[in-house]
Structure 1
Amino acid sequence: MAKSEIRSPLPGVFYRRPSPEEKNYKEVGDDVKAGDVVGLVEVMKTYTEVKSDADGKLTAFLAEDEDAIMPGQVIAELES
């Protein structure tokens, strides 16, 4: 099976859910389609969606909720 990585488009703080009261966008084991949102990156109160570029099953998050991340950092892995 092929593996794909979802990378951060920019530096900031990674969030797995749209707000503290809502559930995570995706969980390990979920099916993901290209274009699905898996999280948000916040920079100076501006939120950017992190979307998958590929279809597959989410096998791992390599960034935890509220982690500081860098551009290009792998946030999650998919298996197709």
Structure 2
Amino acid sequence: MAEKKAIHSPLPGIFYRRPSPEMPEYVQEGDSIHAGDVVGLIEVMKNFYEIKAEEDGIVDQFLANNEELVDAGQEIIMLKK
């Protein structure tokens, strides 16, 4: 069975899966990602912070929905290794 690893929100705020409403999502389930790839944004008081993958993997599942309020440390994406 493949090892799983979570990507956590670095800050409390609103999670976005795309850079703007008319742009495509950064990543989708099943996509291969590499360390340093941007996988989403967190908005805090009109400031946007990129969430970057810390290691390579395949996006297995989103644990937070687009535009959902998340807490610091909350798991937002599950990767398969």
**TM-score scaled to structure 1, two decimals?**
0.98
The one-letter amino acid of 2:18's match is R
Detail structure 1 runs of 4+ shifted over 2 Å in the superposition.
none
C-alpha RMSD over aligned residues: 0.5
User: What displacement does 1:76 show?
Assistant: 0.2
Seq. identity, %:
51
Per-residue CA deviations over 1:33-67 (Å, capped at 9, x if unaligned) read 01111100000000000111111110000000000
Equivalent position of 1:77 in the other structure: 78
- Unpaired runs of at least 5, structure 1: none
The one-letter amino acid of 1:42's match is E
Equivalent position of 1:65 in the other structure: 66
The one-letter amino acid of 1:39's match is G
Equivalent position of 1:14 in the other structure: 15
Partner Cα distance (2:6, 2:37) in 1: 14
